[in-house]
Amino acid sequence: MIPHLISVEPSLFDELSIMWITIAAFLVFFMHAGFTLLESGMTQSKNAVNIAMKNLMAISVGTVVYWFIGYSLMFGETSKGVFRWSGFFSSLDSPESHLLFFQTMFAATCATIVSGAIAGRTKYSVFGIFAVIMTGLIYPVAGGWEWGDNGWLNNKSIVPAEFIDFAGSSIVHAVGGWAALVGAFMVGPRLGKYVKGKVEAIPGHNKTLATLGVMALWFGWFGFNGGSQLAWGGDNTVGATTVVLFTNLGAAAGAIGALITTWLWYGKPDIVQTLNGALAGLVSITAGVGNLTAAGVFIAGLLGGVIVVFSIEFIEKKLRIDDAIGASSVHGVVGVWGTIVIGLWGVDGGKGIGLFNGGGLDQLVIQTIGTLAYSLWAVVLAFIFFSILKKFMGLRVTKEEEIAGLDIAEHGIRAYPGKRNR
């Protein structure tokens, strides 16, 4: 023990918190490398450059647009708790600059979720415009409902309890996932996906890249969740490190859940679904990672891994919506599950707040209200803007361009020169 470290000045606590949030933002930035690898590996090689370009656009456009208008809409002054505003161009040299940086990464993540679902047949310009809409309007307004001061979801005069979404199972993932589902529906399936009433597999070209992508996302998620503690020092240090530990546990549980499910369901453990299971485990605990016990995290993640397997099959085979990488299931469906689970066995300190651990119905009711509000907001706004884009620009490339691959059609280059399209 070092005696002079026992008493820490408040200013030092502030500096440590700023450093922790900034490091966490670095990790969330790295998640975009993970999304690039995952989406590319899960889709055909002839679209790999297009995937890379979309993810590069998401982080670039997201950074500028969120700085220009998004942060103001999310954290600006308001008296209504629904829409906020503090002017254009959030200050880059304010005491909140680290929070602007951290939230910018979240906004870009929300946009990137849409990218994979509509891969292989969507105009690059369409995704670019939608990324602007997502980072400049859809995500910021939604985020302010919970994370902004006096957001309506925390106003006990109109809701039975405070809504809990620690790091964004609904705010980031469900919003992005439902927008992805709407986009995939409106763009339509890839050529050859549904033939004579049958669902045809369109395998991704590189499962190793996809696996590396999930590993990168898993790693980056330590910052996504851990940084959402928004402080370092004293009890916050314990809280943040516990969040990181629980994040790892949730991912592992989700992977195991999907692995066992596919082993029993398909007869063999499936790599694609197991990868989706790991991500589903992460999404499952992102809302409640600060309000669940270790056992609660494990069960939530495990069930998330099971849910995602059947959700992907249902959307693909029953709804006949071609989500190229299962983004709407991983982020949308499981995002809802991760939000609701707090109302089932969530805790607040040592007190149960869930239905199954003595907390009654209040928390379950507000978690349900919140996730329905976010889901409806994302679906309605995505439908409106995709409809506008469809009318004035068209959403899809031509049949010939899709067959040739978007790398050639949209960017004039192949990811793998000399290799056949697959």
Task: Give how far Cα 113 sits from Cα of 141, 188, 233, Å.
Answer: 18, 17, 33
85 pLDDT band, cuts 50/70/90, is confident
Q: What would the pLDDT profile of 393-404 be if each residue is shown by its tens digit?
A: 999 999 999 999
More confident residue, 93 or 182: 182
List the alpha helices (DSSP H) in 43-96. 48-65, 71-75
Element at 314 (helix H, strand E): none
Q: Helix or strand or coil: residue 414?
A: coil
Give the mean pLDDT of the chain: 93
Q: What is the mean pLDDT of residues 295-323?
A: 97
Task: Evaluate whether 88 touches 8 at the Cβ level (below 8 Å).
Answer: no
Q: What would the pLDDT profile of 54-64 be if each residue is shown by its tens digit?
A: 999 999 999 99
Q: What would the pLDDT profile of 118-139 be if each residue is shown by its tens digit?
A: 999 999 999 999 999 999 999 9
Task: Evaluate whether 120 touches 47 at the Cβ level (below 8 Å).
Answer: yes
177 pLDDT band, cuts 50/70/90, is very high
Question: Residues with Cβ < 8 Å from 396, sequence gap 6 or more?
Answer: 121, 122, 123, 187, 188, 402
Q: What is the pLDDT of residue 350?
A: 84
Q: What is the pLDDT of residue 90?
A: 76
**Which residue, among 89, 119, 94, 111, has the nearest Cα to 31 in the 3D structure?**
111
Q: What is the pLDDT of residue 422?
A: 59
Task: Evaluate whether 131 touches 57 at the Cβ level (below 8 Å).
Answer: yes
Task: Give phi and psi for 166, each to the nearest 5.
Answer: -55, -55
**Chain-centre distance of CA 19, in angstroms?**
24
Interhelix angle 124-133/97-117, rounded to 10 degrees, is: 140
Which residue, chain included where needed, has tokens 């600059």? 97
Is the pLDDT at 419 greater than 70, yes or no?
no
* Distance between CA atoms of residues 100 and 342, nearest Å: 28
Q: What would the pLDDT profile of 87-117 be if each residue is shown by its tens digit?
A: 788 766 676 889 999 999 999 999 999 999 9
Q: Helix or strand or coil: residue 194?
A: strand
Q: What would the pLDDT profile of 152-161 be if each residue is shown by its tens digit?
A: 999 888 899 9
More confident residue, 235 or 297: 297
b/e map of 67-87 (b: 16 or more CB within 10 Å)?
bebbbbbbbbebeebeebeee
Strand 198-199 versus strand 351-352 pairing type: unpaired
* Distance between CA atoms of residues 148 and 162, nearest Å: 13
Q: What is the pLDDT of residue 11?
A: 78
| Architecture of the domain defined by 10-411 | Orthogonal Bundle (1.10)
**Chain-centre distance of CA 42, in angstroms?**
17
**Which residue, among 411, 419, 413, 412, has the nearest Cα to 128 in the 3D structure?**
411
Percent of the chain beyond pLDDT 90? Answer: 84
313 pLDDT band, cuts 50/70/90, is very high
Q: What is the mean pLDDT of residues 234-262?
A: 96
* Distance between CA atoms of residues 303 and 347, nearest Å: 18
Q: What is the pLDDT of residue 8?
A: 45
Q: Label residue 16 exposed, middle or buried (CB < 10 Å: 0-12, 13-18, 19+).
A: middle
Q: Label residue 349 exposed, middle or buried (CB < 10 Å: 0-12, 13-18, 19+).
A: exposed
66 pLDDT band, cuts 50/70/90, is very high
Q: What is the pLDDT of residue 322?
A: 97
Element at 396 (helix H, strand E): none
Lowest mean pLDDT across 24-38, 143-157, 280-294, 386-400: 143-157
Give the max Cα distance, the chain.
Answer: 75
